[in-house]
Structure 1
Amino acid sequence: MTSATPTLPGFDHVRLPGEGGVELSAAVAGHGSPVVLLHGFPETHLMWRHVAPRLAEEHTVVCPDLRGYGDSDKPPAAEEDTYSKRTMAADIVRAMASLGHDRFALVGHDRGALVAFRAGLDHPETITHLGILDVVPTLDMWNVLHGVSAAVAHHLYLMAQPPGLPETMIANSADAFFGSFLDGWTTDTDAIPEEIRTAYLRASAAAVDSIVADYRASAGIDIVHDRADLDAGSQLAMPVTVVQQDWGSQLGYDAAGVWRAWSPDLDHRLTRSGHFMAETSPEEITGVLRALLAR
């Protein structure tokens, strides 16, 4: 008998409508101005288990599983944009509208941060504040990866391949594949306890096709969308806080400069807390997000 999936204590767990009939699973709690927290890879909304309750003391906090992840629907990638960040961002806007929120702050980590970035560009009238944890925009990401330093992003290249081989390879070694990121990207091996790690691995193994489709979109349609905005001179209109590891010095680019080109109202910060910063250093991240929401 398998153990039950952990939940966020004190949060209601609901189903919310996304685009095209897709439903998102989400945890909701608190009162006050709304804040949405989007998870990264290979995680679920559980990555916010330390930060979300703290923010819920002052805000209405909504923690969805992205389409294709966790307990949210996983539609087949029948169309090029099924897992585009544009579609995934529209999911969040629609889900929040169903809760009565036509304006809200949005924070994303990793894949969720790419969704948040796209939401900020596509829905500037809806997103009041934008928090980004440990990514650069998709177009810039591909531009800064080069030479042997790109080995850190080997999974991006694997999942960019045509359908078939990536899904088969990953499905045949799902725990080893997804577990390698949970083990290799953390600065604190105790930050993701066994119960949570098991939940992440179980959820990821059940979502191989949709996770690959999400990443494949970032090697295709997401680049098209980013380039169109770059060519149009589009920028993020809301206050933006970016927190990331010092990828600039590691990969040889100006990380703050990359983000400043997209965001005139930017607070760019570096952290030593590793990729899973909301789990390794929740006090730090909560403080950063409270400062963003006060701007």
Structure 2
Amino acid sequence: MSTSDWIPQNFEIRRIATNGTTLFIAVGGSGPVLVLLHGWPQTSRAWARVMPALAEKYTVVVPDLRGTGASDRPETGYTKTNQARDMRGILKELALTGPVTVAGHDIGAMVALAWAACYPDDIARLILVDALLPGLGLEEAMNVAEGGMWHFGFFMTPHIPEMLFDGHELEFITATFTAMSDPGTFRPDDLAAYADAYTGRDRLRGGFEHYRTLLEDGRDNRALLTDRPLPMPVLAIGTTHSGTATADALSPHAKSLRSEVAPTGHFVAEEDPRWFTKVTTEFLA
């Protein structure tokens, strides 16, 4: 299966060397720049259903994060502040000047937040979609002693997750995506494509590395955001599963915050692309 067979028409594929790695990027459209950052266990394919409509008004830049999809999988560099530097390098190579809008989902939202906190002059508007945020409540949510989410600590463990997931990627993807989305959202070919992107221990490792820096990411966020709230307008999108949790975590740290709850499960842009496009374009307008 081609890594790019899902790319919408009129999008160009690039591979860009930046910040010690090489990233896969799809670029299309014209107008103000809108960067879309995917979550785990996904790739840039996560935005396929909204890219054509958004490209009618914006220059849409859609990378595979380091360690995922068709991007390289370096051994290090997965802190979210360092991945913000990945994104800055992409825009420089594409000769796209800022400030830009960045939208991130899940792990991609963590990268987007770090980018906005570390380099606020880069970001005109910030959209965070259904994410727990390091330093802003994630650590409490992953505390299993208090009934927190077990998978965060497990994925942060070196080597063991790769060993146990190896050979079971499609089973895991299917079970997870089915439980966290509305019925019928993902076709068998979608599930197979995501499973293929994480098949094998090195591809699995590239994904888990995003979790292995979360405690450091939390320390970075607290240091960056203490007494320095985000100056740009922020849109926090929750879901029927999470409600306003993302917005609540951001509330003390954003000067201008708008909260929306999507009528979907976790995968908003794929479950209801029309809703996501409408809310995003209204916010940007």
Matched residues in 2 for 1:223 and 1:248: separation?
A: 20
Matched residues in 2 for 1:146 and 1:234: separation?
A: 27
Aligned to 1:134: 130
Question: Is this contact kept in 2: 1:131–1:292, CA < 8 A?
Answer: no
Question: Is this contact kept in 1: 2:170–2:192, CA < 8 A?
Answer: no
Matched residues in 2 for 1:246 and 1:114: separation?
A: 20
Matched residues in 2 for 1:255 and 1:111: separation?
A: 13
Aligned to 1:37: 36
Aligned to 2:222: 227
Aligned to 1:4: 2
Aligned to 1:261: 252
Change beyond 3 A, Cα 1:199–1:123: same
Question: Is this contact kept in 2: 1:84–1:221, CA < 8 A?
Answer: yes
- C-alpha deviation, 1:255, in angstroms: 4.9
Alignment of 1:170-189 (within 5 A): 170-188=165-183
Matched residues in 1 for 2:152 and 2:141: separation?
A: 13
- C-alpha deviation, 1:177, in angstroms: 2.6
Partner of residue 205 from structure 2, selected from 200, 205, 209: 209
Aligned to 1:238: 232
Matched residues in 1 for 2:145 and 2:180: separation?
A: 18
Cα offsets for 1:247-267 (capped at 9, x unmatched)? 667xxx965332111211100
SS of aligned partner of 2:191:
helix
Aligned CA RMSD, in angstroms, stands at: 2.0
Aligned to 1:92: 87
- C-alpha deviation, 1:145, in angstroms: 4.5
Structure in which a larger fraction of residues adopt strand: 2
In structure 2, runs of 5+ residues without a counterpart are none
What is the identity, as a one-letter code, of the residue corresponding to 1:45?
S
- C-alpha deviation, 1:40, in angstroms: 1.0
Cα offsets for 1:37-60 (capped at 9, x unmatched)? 111111111111111110100111
Matched residues in 1 for 2:182 and 2:204: separation?
A: 26
Change beyond 3 A, Cα 1:147–1:156: closer
- C-alpha deviation, 1:164, in angstroms: 2.1
- C-alpha deviation, 1:69, in angstroms: 0.5
- C-alpha deviation, 1:215, in angstroms: 0.7
Matched residues in 2 for 1:191 and 1:149: separation?
A: 32
Q: Which runs of 4+ in 1 moved over 4 A?
A: 145-151, 246-249
Correspondence 1:117 to 2:152: no
Change beyond 3 A, Cα 1:280–1:234: same
Aligned to 2:159: 164
Matched residues in 2 for 1:147 and 1:125: separation?
A: 37
- C-alpha deviation, 1:72, in angstroms: 0.5
Change beyond 3 A, Cα 1:254–1:205: closer
Percent of counterpart pairs with the same letter?
Answer: 29
Aligned length: 279
TM-score (norm 1): 0.88
Matched residues in 2 for 1:254 and 1:174: separation?
A: 29
What is the identity, as a one-letter code, of the residue corresponding to 2:139?
W
Aligned to 2:263: 272
Cα offsets for 1:218-276 (capped at 9, x unmatched)? 1x31122122124x322211111010125667xxx965332111211100111230001
- C-alpha deviation, 1:149, in angstroms: 7.8
Matched residues in 1 for 2:166 and 2:228: separation?
A: 39
In structure 1, runs of 5+ residues without a counterpart are none
Cα offsets for 1:60-83 (capped at 9, x unmatched)? 101110000100010013xxxx11
Matched residues in 1 for 2:254 and 2:240: separation?
A: 19
- C-alpha deviation, 1:17, in angstroms: 2.7
Matched residues in 2 for 1:205 and 1:68: separation?
A: 12
Cα offsets for 1:143-201 (capped at 9, x unmatched)? 244568845x332121122x22222112242222333222211113x222122211110
Matched residues in 1 for 2:267 and 2:122: separation?
A: 27
Change beyond 3 A, Cα 1:254–1:282: closer
What is the identity, as a one-letter code, of the residue corresponding to 2:232?
M
Change beyond 3 A, Cα 1:24–1:118: same
TM-score (norm 2): 0.91
